[in-house]
Amino acid sequence: MASTSSLTLSQALLARAISHHATDQRRDSRLSLVSLPAFSGLKSTTPTASRATTTTNRRRRVSSLHVRAAAVETLDATAETSLVEKSVNTIRFLAIDAVEKANSGHPGLPMGCAPMGHILYDEVMRYNPKNPYWFNRDRFVLSAGHGCMLQYALLHLAGYDSVKEEDLKSFRQWGSRTPGHPENFETPGVEVTTGPLGQGIANAVGLALAEKHLAARFNKPDSEIVDHYTYAILGDGCQMEGISNEVCSLAAHWGLGKLIAFYDDNHISIDGDTEIAFTEDVDKRFEGLGWHVIWVKNGNTGYDEIRAAIKEAKAVKDKPTLIKVTTTIGYGSPNKANSYSVHGSALGAKEVDATRQNLGWPFEPFHVPEDVKQHWSRHIPAGAAFEAEWNTKFAEYEKKYSEEAAEFKSIMACELPTGWEKALPVSVTSTVVFALDLAMRTSLTYTPESPADATRNLSQQNLNALAKVLPGLLGGSADLASSNMTLLKMFGDFQKDTPEERNVRFGVREHGMGAICNGIALHSPGLIPYCATFFVFTDYMRAAIRISALSEAGVIYVMTHDSIGLGEDGPTHQPIEHLSSFRAMPNILMLRPADGNETAGAYKVAVLNRKRPSILALSRQKLPQLPGTSIEGVEKGGYIISDNSSGNKPDVILMGTGSELEIAAKAAEELRKEGKAVRVVSFVSWELFDEQSDAYKESVLPAAVTARVSIEAGSTFGWQKLVGSKGKAIGIDRFGASAPAGKIYKEFGITAEAVIAAAKEVS
Amino acid sequence: MASTSSLTLSQALLARAISHHATDQRRDSRLSLVSLPAFSGLKSTTPTASRATTTTNRRRRVSSLHVRAAAVETLDATAETSLVEKSVNTIRFLAIDAVEKANSGHPGLPMGCAPMGHILYDEVMRYNPKNPYWFNRDRFVLSAGHGCMLQYALLHLAGYDSVKEEDLKSFRQWGSRTPGHPENFETPGVEVTTGPLGQGIANAVGLALAEKHLAARFNKPDSEIVDHYTYAILGDGCQMEGISNEVCSLAAHWGLGKLIAFYDDNHISIDGDTEIAFTEDVDKRFEGLGWHVIWVKNGNTGYDEIRAAIKEAKAVKDKPTLIKVTTTIGYGSPNKANSYSVHGSALGAKEVDATRQNLGWPFEPFHVPEDVKQHWSRHIPAGAAFEAEWNTKFAEYEKKYSEEAAEFKSIMACELPTGWEKALPVSVTSTVVFALDLAMRTSLTYTPESPADATRNLSQQNLNALAKVLPGLLGGSADLASSNMTLLKMFGDFQKDTPEERNVRFGVREHGMGAICNGIALHSPGLIPYCATFFVFTDYMRAAIRISALSEAGVIYVMTHDSIGLGEDGPTHQPIEHLSSFRAMPNILMLRPADGNETAGAYKVAVLNRKRPSILALSRQKLPQLPGTSIEGVEKGGYIISDNSSGNKPDVILMGTGSELEIAAKAAEELRKEGKAVRVVSFVSWELFDEQSDAYKESVLPAAVTARVSIEAGSTFGWQKLVGSKGKAIGIDRFGASAPAGKIYKEFGITAEAVIAAAKEVS
C-alpha cells in the first residue's frame, strides 16, 4: 500500500479491496471474487451528463410512481405512501426473516427504525451501490450496531453486491458478509465497525470532521469536490455511554453542521424500560452541548415528519443536529413490540406469523415485492450518475488546480508520495533538520554523539517532518499536546472556523479521541490520524483502540510517559501492564523505540501499516542515542544492536525495549569487560519480530542459547516467550510509586546491576 | 479479614489499617507505625455528651473568635473574614511550598480552590481527624486529583496524623504519605484514589449511593445512624471525560440529594484556555441530567457566596447539586495566574516570591501562622465529639434493634458471618438448593452427573446464595442483567424511592459502573459490590478496574460471554486478549472457572479477597460438571483435576481454563486410551497459583516434565510461562468471527483433536 503512484486510482482502490480479502484467513473463497465495477475514477470514462440531466433521467425512470414535491431540498423523488409503507415493511421482514433463520440477532431496532432507514437510503442519501468506495458518498453509521439487519436490508434493496439474498440468508453464519454486527472489513457499504455502543456516533463525528477538513482544504469557490453528509442512528444504549457525550460535545464545538444523528428513542433497552436507569432529559443535554435538536414524535409512520426534520437539519449549517425519533421497538409485532423481548432474540415462528398477519404481509421469507424492487432499482443508475458527475467535476478541478488535486488524490487513495520516508529525521545534529534537503538525508543516522533526548521529543520531530510530506497526516492530543509533544508547528488548530488546519484539540476525552480517529482513518485511505495521551490512559480508550485493530484503521497512537520513568505523578499515571496488554491484542503493532533511529523506524512502520494501528510507547525522560540502532532494525521488530560473540553463540543474550535498552547495553559493556560474549537485542515490536523468517529469528535468538535476560520497566508477563524457561525477565510486577524517576528505577531494581546479576545466574 | 466476629469492631478496623501497611512492600517503615486512636467503637467509652452540649462546648472553645451567624444551617462557627483569608492563604502557600520543594506537582488548583476547600473542611464537613475511618464521617473526593496538595494541606490543618509537616515536605518523594495524586491506601483521610480524570466524581457517586442505601436499610425513625454528605471537587478535565456524564446521569436518576459537587470552573486545562476544546454549556447539560445547579461567580474571595450555595444545595433533598465555582487557577500568582503554566509545574523561586509579595505572605515555607493553627485546632476535639455522639447513638440503636445492628456492624467492619461460605451452592441436584440446610451442604459437591450449565448461570446461583448471608453484597449490570445473570431474586431494584434494595441498574455505562463500585467498596469495608457486563466490554471500564486493583477495592467483576463461545455476535463481542491483559495487571485476581465447583470456588476467593478485586470470566454456553474440580483447587489457582501417571512423571501435562478445561479432559481420555500417562491441570487463577509454595507448584508442574500443552479460547500470550519453551499453547491469536459457537471452535482449532495432536508432538 506504500507508494502506489504508478497505479491509477481505480487500480489502487480495487487493490485495496482485494488485498484485504486475499490476506484474511477467515473469509470464504466467494469473497475474494467480489468484483468492484471498474472504477471510473478520474478519467471520466462514464457519461458526463450534468447533474440536472441525470436527475431528470432518473425521475423519468420512476415516472410511473406518484411523484410528490420532495419534502427535503435534496430529496429524491419519493414514492406514494403505500409504496413507502411496503418498502418499510420489506425492510422489517427482511430483518425478521434473517434473524429467524439464524435464530439469533436483533429484530427490534430494524422494525422500529425501518421508516427512517427507508427515507435515508431511498430518498436522502447519495451513494453508488456499485462502488461503495466512491469518495463523495454520504456516510451512514449504524451506531446501534446490533440492529445491523436494518443496514443489510437497506444495502440489499439499494443494490449493493455485498448483500445479495444469499447473504441475508446466511446472516450471522461462518464466512458470511452479514456478520452479527456491522463490520466494514466484511461488508462493502458498511463504513465502520460498530456494536460496542457509542463507538459508531464517535466514528460518525470523525467522518464528519474529515469531510469538513477536506472540504476546507480542497474545495474552491467554483468547485466543491468534497461535499457529503454524515448520518448516524444511535439508540438509548449509545446515549448512555460516556463516549457519546464526549464526541457530541466536540461535534458541536467544531460546528459539524453536516452531521445528522437520529436518536432512536424507543424507551427500551435490554434490561427493560429505560425508566429504570435513564431518565435524563436528552434533548436538554444536547442543547447544552450545542446541538440543534428536533423531535419527531411519530417515528413509526410519520414519514413526512422525518422528512421535514431532515430538511430542517440540513438548513442548520453551523451545528450538528440530533433528530430524536420516537419509535416503537419491534413495531408490528402484536405481542412483543415495545418490550425488551424483541430487542435481541428471534421473534419465534408463531410471533413471526402474527406479525405477518398484523402488518398484512402475505409473502414468503426474504421476499422483496416486485414493485418495491422496481422502486429501489433506480439507485444503481442514479449512483453511477452521481459518481460520474463527480468525476467530471474532479477532472475539471484537476485541470485548474493540479497541485491540490495531486494532494487530494494522495488522500483519496493513499498514494504515499515517492520517497516520503526520506523525510524521517534520522539526525538531530542539525538545528535546521526540517529544512535539510531530503535527498541528502537518506544516509544519515543518529550517532551515539547526538544529544540525548526523550523519545516523545523525537516523536515530535518525526510528526513535524512527516506532516510536510504526508498530506493526510493530522491529529492531536487529549489535552496533553505540550506533554505528548504532538503539535504540528506549521499548522494551526482545527477549529470550527479554521477546519483546514491539522492540529486537533480533543480535550480530555481519550475514548472519544480514539474512536473519532477511527472515523477519520476510515473516511479516506490516505488520511493518517494520530492521537496522543499518556500511555496509561490507553485504559480509557481501549475499546476504541481494539476497534482500530479489528476494523483495520491505521491510527497512530502516540503514547508518551510510558513507564515509571515519568516519576512523581505516581502509580495512577505509571503504566505497568500496558505493553503486555497490547502485545496480546490481535492486528496491532506495539512499538517501544529506544532512541532517535528507533523512533524514526517506528514512524516508518506506523505510516506504512495503513491497515493495522500502531501504538508508540514513548519516554518522558531523556535517553541516549545508542550505537547499533536503526530504522531497518525496527522494521524487523527485534534485532541485534551489539554483539561480541562469534558463530551465533553468545554466552548470554540481553534484551530490552525503549528506555531499558540503554540499561541492557550498559550491562553488556560491563559483562564484556569480564570476558563474556554478550549479545544485546532490541525488541521494539514483538509483532514484527514474529513475522520474520525462522532463519532470521534463529540468527537473533539461537535456540541453543538459553541464557537470556530481558529488562523492561513493565510487567514481565509474556517475556517468557522470549527469555525461555531458563532465562530471566526483569520487570515490574506491582504498581508504581510516586517519587523521582531515578529513585523508582533503583528501588524497583530496574538497573544494569540487576541485569548483570541475572546474566551470571542464567549463564 | 474473613470471619472476624470474635474481634471487636475497633480491633477489626485497626487490624484492617495495619494489615494493609504490613503487607505492602513499598511503604517505608515509618508507615507501619501509624497509630490510630483506640477506636471508641460501640462501647461508648467516650463522653456521652449530647450533640447540643458538644456543640456548645466546641463553640466555647472558639469563643475568642468573632462568631458570625453561620450561613449554612449545619455550618460550624466561622472565623472572621481576615482569619478565613489567612487560613485560605495558608492552604495556598502550603501547596506552593510543597510543589516548589518537590519541584514537581500542580499548584494551580489548590491556589484557586483554597476558599472552597477551607469552607468545606473548616466550616461544613463533619469528620474526626484522629479516626479517619469513623463510619459516619462526611466523605470528600478530590476528583481533580492532581490538585492533591489542596487536600494534603486541609488534612494537615485539620489535624490528621497522616499529613504532618514532614509529610508535606516529602511531597512526591519515595515512601511518603503525600504521593503525586491522592491515594487512599497511602494516606488515611483520603477516601479514594484519584488522578485519572473523572474517576473521582464516579467514586463520589458510589459513596453517596452507599450512604443512601445504608440509610434506607438501617435508619429508624428514632435513630439515624447513617447520615453523611459526600462532597467532590471536579475540574474541567473531569467534566470532559465521558465517565463523569455517565455517573452524573445516574446520580440524578437515583436522587442522590446528599451528593454535592463543586465544579472548579477555571477555564484552563493543560493545553490552554478551555475555549479550544470545551465550549458546551455545562450548567444546561447538568440540568438536563437532572441536577440542581448553582453558580458561584466569585470563587476566589466570595466566601459567603460559597456558603450560601452549600446551604442551598443541602436544602435540595431529591437531587444532587452541582456548584459551579468560577475561580482563577493559580490565584495570587501575579504572572502565572489564569494560565496553563500554573497548572502542573512549580512556580519557580522568583514567582513564589512574587506571589508571597502579592498576597502579603511574609512567612517561611511551610509555615502555619499561630492563629490559623489555633483556629483549626478545634477540629480534633470536635471530631472526637462527633464520633462519641454517634457511638452513643449507635449503642442505643443496638439495644433496640439488635438484628439490624449486627448486620450493620458486619458492613461497617467487614465481619463476614461465621460459616458464610457454606452458603456457596456446590450442588444443583436439588431444585430447592437455596433452601437446603446450610450445615448439610458443606460436604456436597457438583458431580459429573449434575446437569451441564453455563457458568454465568452457576454464577447467579452463587450470587443469590451469597446475598442471603452477606449483608454487604449488592450490585448489578450495565443493562445486561438478564444476560449476565446477576439479578438477586429476593431483592428489588435500588432506585430513587427504593434505595434499600440491592439490584443496581447501571444502564449502558460500564466505565461509570466500575468506578461507582470502587466508591461503594471504599465506603465501608463490608460492602461487597459486584458489577457485570460482557467480558469484552471490560475494555470500556479498564481504567476503573485498574483503580480497583490499585486502591484495594474488592469489587467483584462478573464478566460473562467470555470467549468466542458467545457465537453469533461476532468479533466486536468476543474477547481474545482479555484474559492475558488482566493476568498482566497487578493486584487483581483473574478467575476463569470451568464448572459448578469452580464457580463456587471463584466466589469464595472473590469474597475473601476484600483488598483485591476479582474478575470472573464466565461462559455463555453450557459446560459439563467435570470430575475432579473443587473449591479447594480453585483456592490454589492451579491444580490437578485428573491424572493417571505415577511418581509425578506424567508423559504429558494438559492445561486448560474455563470452557476449555472440558476439552483438555476429553483429550486426556483419548490419550489415556492409547496408553499415555496424562495429567490434566486447571489453571483457574494464575495469580493464586503464583502464590503457592515451590513444592506445591512442582507437584503440579514438575520441572522435569516439559511435554505440556495448554488450551484456552483466547490469546496464547503469556502461556509460555506455563507450557515452557518445549510446550505448546493452543489458543486464538486473531480476532473472532460471527457464527454459531461450535462452528467457530472447530474452525479455529480449539478442539480435543488439536490438543491430542499437540500432545503427541511435544511428548
Give dist(CA A241, CA A196) in Å, integer. 10
pLDDT beyond 50 at B228: yes
Using the Cβ of A290 and the Cβ atoms of chain B, whether some distance falls under 8 Å is answered with: yes
CB-based contact A735 B587, cutoff 8 Å: yes
Q: Is B292 assigned to a binding site?
A: no
Chain B segment 192-221 residues within 8 A of A by beta carbon are: 193-197
Give dist(CA B420, CA B462) in Å, integer. 12
Chain A segment 100-139 residues within 8 A of B by beta carbon are: 102, 104-105
Strand partners of residue A261: A232, A322
**Least confident span in A57-71, A153-167, B738-752:** A57-71
- pLDDT digits over B311-323, tens only? 999 999 999 999 9
Residues with Cβ within 8 Å of B306's Cβ and at least 6 positions away in sequence, in order, are B115, B116, B119, B296, B299, B323, B325
Q: Give A252's contacts in chain B (Cβ within 8 Å).
A: 279-280
Confidence of residue B446 (pLDDT cuts 50, 70, 90): confident
Question: What is the count of residue pairs from A and B with beta carbons less than 8 Å apart?
Answer: 368
Average pLDDT of span A41-47: 35
- What are the strands, taking DSSP E only, across B519-597? 528-534, 556-560, 589-591
Give dist(CA A347, CA A337) in Å, integer. 10
Chain A segment 465-504 residues within 8 A of B by beta carbon are: 477, 479-483, 493, 495
Confidence of residue B51 (pLDDT cuts 50, 70, 90): very low
Average pLDDT of span A375-399: 98
Instruction: Look up residue B37 and give its three cell numbers.
Output: 486512636
Using the Cβ of A240 and the Cβ atoms of chain B, whether some distance falls under 8 Å is answered with: yes
Q: Give A715's contacts in chain B (Cβ within 8 Å).
A: 584-586
CB-based contact A580 B576, cutoff 8 Å: no
Overall size of chain A counted in residues:
763
pLDDT of residue B26: 38
- pLDDT digits over A337-363, tens only? 999 999 999 999 999 999 999 999 999
What b/e string do you get for B507-524 counting C-beta neighbours within 10 Å, with b at 16 or more? bbbbbbbbbbbbbbbbbb
- Compute, in degrees rounded to 10, the torsion defined by CA atoms A113, A114, A116, A117: 110
* Least Cα separation, residue A447 to chain B (angstroms): 32
Half-sphere exposure of B594 (CA within 13 A, CB side): 34
Instruction: Look up residue A173 and give its three cell numbers.
Output: 453464519
- pLDDT digits over B718-763, tens only? 999 999 999 999 999 999 999 999 999 999 999 999 999 999 999 9
Average pLDDT of span A208-236: 98
Residue-averaged pLDDT of chain A: 90
DSSP at B549: H
CB-based contact A25 B734, cutoff 8 Å: yes
- What are the strands, taking DSSP E only, across A103-219? 139-142
Confidence of residue B11 (pLDDT cuts 50, 70, 90): very low
* Least Cα separation, residue A541 to chain B (angstroms): 7
Whether A422 and A438 have beta carbons less than 8 Å apart is answered as: yes
Average pLDDT of span A300-327: 98
**Least confident span in A106-120, A288-302, B50-64, B399-413:** B50-64
Instruction: Look up residue B622 and give its three cell numbers.
Output: 453450557
- pLDDT digits over A273-307, tens only? 999 999 999 999 999 999 999 999 999 999 999 99
Which residue in chain A has the smallest CA separation from B291?
A280
Least Cα distance to A240 among B482, B481, B510 occurs for B510
CB-based contact A580 B717, cutoff 8 Å: yes
pLDDT beyond 60 at A439: no
Element (H, E) at A383: helix A379-400
pLDDT beyond 60 at A62: no
Least Cα distance to A615 among A658, A573, A572, A574 occurs for A658
pLDDT beyond 60 at A26: no
Element (H, E) at B410: helix B402-413
Candidates B183, B483, B508; nearest CB to A197: B508
- Compute, in degrees rounded to 10, the torsion defined by CA atoms B39, B44, B46, B52: 120
pLDDT of residue A606: 98
pLDDT of residue A306: 98
Q: Which of B421, B510, B687, B712 is catalytic?
A: B510
Average pLDDT of span A406-433: 80
Question: Which of the residues of A are catalytic?
Answer: 510
Q: Give A543's contacts in chain B (Cβ within 8 Å).
A: 537, 539-540
Instruction: Look up residue B290 and give its three cell numbers.
Output: 437532572
The alpha-carbon radius of gyration of chain B (Å, integer) is 28
Which residue in chain A has the smallest CA separation from B494?
A276
pLDDT of residue A440: 44
Overall size of chain B counted in residues:
763
Give dist(CA A502, CA A41) in Å, integer. 27
Confidence of residue B427 (pLDDT cuts 50, 70, 90): low
Average pLDDT of span A468-490: 97
Whether A654 and A755 have beta carbons less than 8 Å apart is answered as: yes
Confidence of residue A3 (pLDDT cuts 50, 70, 90): very low
The alpha-carbon radius of gyration of chain A (Å, integer) is 28
Element (H, E) at B614: strand B614-617
Average pLDDT of span B563-590: 98
pLDDT of residue A619: 98
AA letter at A520: I
DSSP at A223: B
Whether B528 and B607 have beta carbons less than 8 Å apart is answered as: yes
Give dist(CA A648, CA B616) in Å, integer. 46
Model pTM score: 0.91
pLDDT beyond 60 at A719: yes
Give dist(CA B563, CA B624) in Å, integer. 17
- pLDDT digits over B142-192, tens only? 999 999 999 999 999 999 999 999 999 999 999 999 999 999 999 999 999
Give dist(CA B660, CA B194) in Å, integer. 38
Half-sphere exposure of B367 (CA within 13 A, CB side): 10
pLDDT of residue B564: 98
Using the Cβ of B698 and the Cβ atoms of chain A, whether some distance falls under 8 Å is answered with: no
Average pLDDT of span A371-390: 98
Q: Is B375 assigned to a binding site?
A: no
Average pLDDT of span B359-374: 98
pLDDT beyond 90 at A93: yes
Mutant choice from A106, A183, A238, A240 vs B, greatest count of B C-beta within 10 A: A240
Q: Give B193's contacts in chain A (Cβ within 8 Å).
A: 572
Residue B127 three-state SS: coil
pLDDT of residue B48: 34
CB-based contact B481 A271, cutoff 8 Å: yes
B510 catalytic per annotation: yes
pLDDT beyond 60 at B560: yes
pLDDT of residue B202: 98
pLDDT beyond 50 at A525: yes
Give dist(CA B257, CA B313) in Å, integer. 8
Instruction: Look up residue A668 and give its three cell numbers.
Output: 553488556
Using the Cβ of B302 and the Cβ atoms of chain A, whether some distance falls under 8 Å is answered with: no
- Please provide the DSSP assignment of B62-90 as one string: TTTS--PPPSSTTPPP---HHHHHHHHHH
pLDDT of residue A55: 36
Neighbours of A489 (CB within 10 A): 10
AA letter at B75: L
- Please provide the DSSP assignment of B481-533 as one string: HHHHT---TT--EEBTTBTT--EEE--S-HHHHHHHHHHHHHH-TT-EEEEEE
- Compute, in degrees rounded to 10, the torsion defined by CA atoms B603, B605, B608, B611: -110
**Least confident span in A418-432, A603-617, A654-668, B87-101:** A418-432
Comparison of pLDDT for B432 and B395, the residue scoring more:
B395
- pLDDT digits over B74-86, tens only? 444 567 999 999 9
* Least Cα separation, residue B709 to chain A (angstroms): 15
C-alpha pair distances (Å), A328 with each of A181, A235, A273, A471 = 21, 12, 12, 46
* Least Cα separation, residue B417 to chain A (angstroms): 32
Residue A395 three-state SS: helix
pLDDT of residue B153: 98
pLDDT beyond 70 at A39: no
Instruction: Look up residue A311 and give its three cell numbers.
Output: 430538511
Candidates A175, A276, A508; nearest CB to B240: A508
pLDDT of residue A414: 85
pLDDT of residue B416: 92
Chain A segment 60-89 residues within 8 A of B by beta carbon are: none
Percentage of chain B beyond pLDDT 70 is 87
Residues with Cβ within 8 Å of B501's Cβ and at least 6 positions away in sequence, in order, are B491, B492, B493, B494, B495
- Please provide the DSSP assignment of B468-488 as one string: HH-TTEEEEESS-HHHHT---
CB-based contact B580 A547, cutoff 8 Å: no
Chain A segment 634-673 residues within 8 A of B by beta carbon are: none
pLDDT beyond 90 at A430: no
Using the Cβ of A282 and the Cβ atoms of chain B, whether some distance falls under 8 Å is answered with: yes
Least Cα distance to B437 among B447, B422, B451 occurs for B422
Confidence of residue B63 (pLDDT cuts 50, 70, 90): very low
Least Cα distance to A327 among A239, A263, A282 occurs for A263
